[in-house]
Structure 1
């Protein structure tokens, strides 16, 4: 007998809401004698906050599954999806293809009852690569940048592979903290200038730190203004943050981890603030907003954050600039309404 499998929803909620606010993930393999077939549809609740771990060998469909989840959220009724946003942190540069119909697998898509179609994906590319991508016809919609003001001294040290308590780490921390005290945004040139003018450090330390910030200038992702979080995380929007320009760059994963960490931390802070101001009376209403008797659009949507190659960003036994922010969401993301999807082919290397 075929029946629906709904992941992430209690029996009580299934009885109350049915499949409303869910997306289809696939079908369950059922073996009967010598025959193995696809039978029970498997759905996932996306109106609540969850942590999801997708594991499989190379080429098994992990990245495809992340795209399918994004498409499922995009296809939800307006009254539900207007209060949800999904952000794909694309470390390998593959999700731009969702802008186009999947004619390559058209027969398979139709066998599931769907038609190949383009998805309204908003692609953000690091500002230093945006013009190049546009000129070469590589799909991108908007430039993306982050403010140096938002990077903590420890995150700079991790990204530059400098010990926090070393002479260079102390110099970096002192300069960044002095700039932060002013309460106004600044660019990398200002950091470099103050490092070179510092009177409490030796010339070697100044040279090492200033050289690291000169290198960071070449990453093409820092600006004094930065990209507002509300632009990339909007209700009903599927956003791809393309970090693939760093795939072949020296310290590429350190750069990606820095960006992921900043985005994750900012999302958590935004949702914690929003959670305090939203007109919810119970946690159930907050996690299942669409069930309220009067449908309204939230100012700050509930967020799904999706990461591929997660073992590189949240490694077991070491720390990246993304580690603390991702662990915070893993442990505390449910209440503010942040869901996290981690995909990896090496689960043993994931932080536990």
Structure 2
């Protein structure tokens, strides 16, 4: 059966690597022809959906496919700690970096005041800004503030406040002179940056540095593989220090060959550029009015019925709006080949485990609950594509 390739023009149907996404979804719910996404050229993709309907699952499917593709370097920013299962594949390589670090000078001096939570026009903010401009490491920034230049006219209160801001940034543990760069991120296989232990500010620092490093490296021709940056909970970063680096990829990433796949539960919290510049929009179930309206405002003219009338209702179903082909497709996302860490824990499972422990302690045998096990197995199969 012929595979439909999204993100490609008809004349390029057989060119380059593909990402197997799933199958067309017929009106009766059955599977139709296979559906894949283009990985040969750079793309800006948006994956949205309410909790539990497959947003992060779909992001994992695309990351699996990118990890298998020759010439592609997938980098996954994992703010929730749910993508470590990618390392369990037997068909591609993947590495999880538990404590990602970046260079302090990868963050532009103008962004440092906002990063440490101060107004750039305030005395404290201008002191931090100057420290970042004059030095290249966080330790050097702190030393600069401890002994300000004679011409700075910084008072002791300002010095103490700036010291406290930079001391807090140091406590995040994300700044290192030997931090990640594009060459370390663009090897074979996938790289997962586990940011689940980090607050939004340090995670924004990591995302800015990584996104900018990938973009700049391709502009300079310093790396050969085409980077694909996968970003979960994207609204946190489009609303933070990382936003300028992400906007650069969205608006200028096509020429150097840098792709961005941004996933969020809250499309209404994204800037207009994230919607307008996405040539692939993958929409799972949405029910919040502001989120539906945000997507409707970006409805393309070729989608006569509108996104709101075609929203999926089942976990794992997705509406893909393809600007390249100027068409929309109802798709059922395939089953992942690696474990998905996004399922929510259940009290019923804990209770069942407690009952099993009690049975084992009573007579030394694992009597368990076969009916409960069967029910859980069936339920797991029915929700395997949930976020």
1:226 Cα deviation from its structure 2 partner: 2.2
**1:64 counterpart residue number:** 57
1:65 Cα deviation from its structure 2 partner: 1.2
**1:305 counterpart residue number:** 229
Q: How does 1:90-239 map to 2 (within 5 A)?
A: 90-100=78-88, 117=90, 119-126=92-99, 144-179=100-135, 185-186=136-137, 188-198=138-148, 199=150, 200-234=153-187, 236-239=188-191
Structure 2 unaligned residues grouped into runs of 5+: 273-387
Q: How does 1:238-249 map to 2 (within 5 A)?
A: 238-246=190-198
CA RMSD in angstroms, aligned pairs only: 1.8
8 Å contact kept, 2:67–2:94: no
Secondary structure of residue in 2 paired with 1:325: helix
Cα gap change, 1:118/1:207 in structure 2, threshold over 3 Å: closer, same or farther?
farther
1:178 Cα deviation from its structure 2 partner: 1.9
**1:265 counterpart residue number:** 212
* TM-score normalised to structure 2 length: 0.66
Secondary structure of residue in 1 paired with 2:260: strand
8 Å contact kept, 2:74–2:227: yes
Cα gap change, 1:74/1:224 in structure 2, threshold over 3 Å: closer, same or farther?
closer
Give the alignment partner of residue 259 of structure 2, picking from 339, 342, 345: 339
Aligned residues: 269
Cα gap change, 1:74/1:146 in structure 2, threshold over 3 Å: closer, same or farther?
closer
Cα gap change, 1:13/1:118 in structure 2, threshold over 3 Å: closer, same or farther?
closer
- Distance in 2 of aligned mates of 1:205 and 1:21: 55
CA deviation digits over 1:304-352, x for unaligned, max 9?
A: 000011111113xxxx111111001000100100010011111111111
8 Å contact kept, 1:100–1:118: no
- Distance in 2 of aligned mates of 1:158 and 1:119: 39
8 Å contact kept, 2:63–2:230: no
8 Å contact kept, 1:90–1:240: yes
**1:107 counterpart residue number:** none
- Distance in 1 of aligned mates of 2:179 and 2:265: 33
8 Å contact kept, 1:29–1:37: yes
- Distance in 1 of aligned mates of 2:180 and 2:204: 17
8 Å contact kept, 1:125–1:243: yes
Q: Which protein has the larger Cα radius of gyration, Structure 1 or Structure 2?
A: 2
- Distance in 2 of aligned mates of 1:36 and 1:197: 69
1:119 Cα deviation from its structure 2 partner: 4.8
Cα gap change, 1:75/1:172 in structure 2, threshold over 3 Å: closer, same or farther?
closer
CA deviation digits over 1:237-262, x for unaligned, max 9?
A: 2110111111xxxxx11211111011
CA deviation digits over 1:79-104, x for unaligned, max 9?
A: xx1x2100001111111122236xxx
Secondary structure of residue in 1 paired with 2:98: strand
8 Å contact kept, 2:112–2:132: no
- Distance in 1 of aligned mates of 2:68 and 2:209: 29
- Distance in 1 of aligned mates of 2:214 and 2:205: 14
Secondary structure of residue in 2 paired with 1:245: coil
8 Å contact kept, 2:107–2:208: no
1:41 Cα deviation from its structure 2 partner: 1.2
Give the alignment partner of residue 73 of structure 1, picking from 39, 55, 66: 66
Following TM superposition, the consecutive aligned residue runs of length 4 or more in structure 1 with deviations greater than 6 angstroms are: none
- Distance in 2 of aligned mates of 1:351 and 1:254: 19
**2:25 counterpart residue number:** 29
- Distance in 1 of aligned mates of 2:46 and 2:107: 28
- Distance in 1 of aligned mates of 2:211 and 2:177: 20
Secondary structure of residue in 2 paired with 1:28: strand
Secondary structure of residue in 1 paired with 2:51: coil
1:267 Cα deviation from its structure 2 partner: 1.0
Structure 1 unaligned residues grouped into runs of 5+: 102-116, 127-143, 180-184, 247-251, 278-298
